[in-house]
Amino acid sequence: MDFEDNLDLEEFLFVDRQCRKCLRTLSLVDHFYKTRPDRGKNASAYSYTCKQCQVKRNAANRKKKRKWDTEYPDW
């Protein structure tokens, strides 16, 4: 009996992850962005917020008015 034959790779990989923002449990590969493209398929290579929450956060940050955008320089 070989020890490696009894192990299933999916037992060690995370297939689902809970989003930190919306607290939903979603599929890791389908619903989370990778942090960097060269990180591989490890669970640590994916972000902790889902794609929907990430898109909402980026859109909200782009819409913010910045102080230097609204004031005309006084020269």
Work out how many domains the chain is built from and give that number: 1
In a domain, 24, yes or no: yes
Q: Over 90: is that where the pLDDT of 50 sits?
A: yes
Number of Cβ within 10 Å of residue 19's Cβ equals 19
In a domain, 36, yes or no: yes
Closest CA to 22 of 32, 12, 37: 32
In a domain, 39, yes or no: yes
Q: Which neighbouring-strand residues pair with 32?
A: 50
Among 14-18, 21-25, 31-35, 63-67, the minimum mean pLDDT is found in 63-67
Q: Over 70: is that where the pLDDT of 65 sits?
A: no
> How big is the chain by its Cα radius of gyration, in Å?
20
Q: Over 60: is that where the pLDDT of 12 sits?
A: no
Do 35 and 45 meet the contact criterion of CB atoms below 8 Å apart? Answer: yes
pLDDT for 61 equals 85
pLDDT for 40 equals 76
The pTM of the full predicted model, rounded to 2 decimals, is 0.61
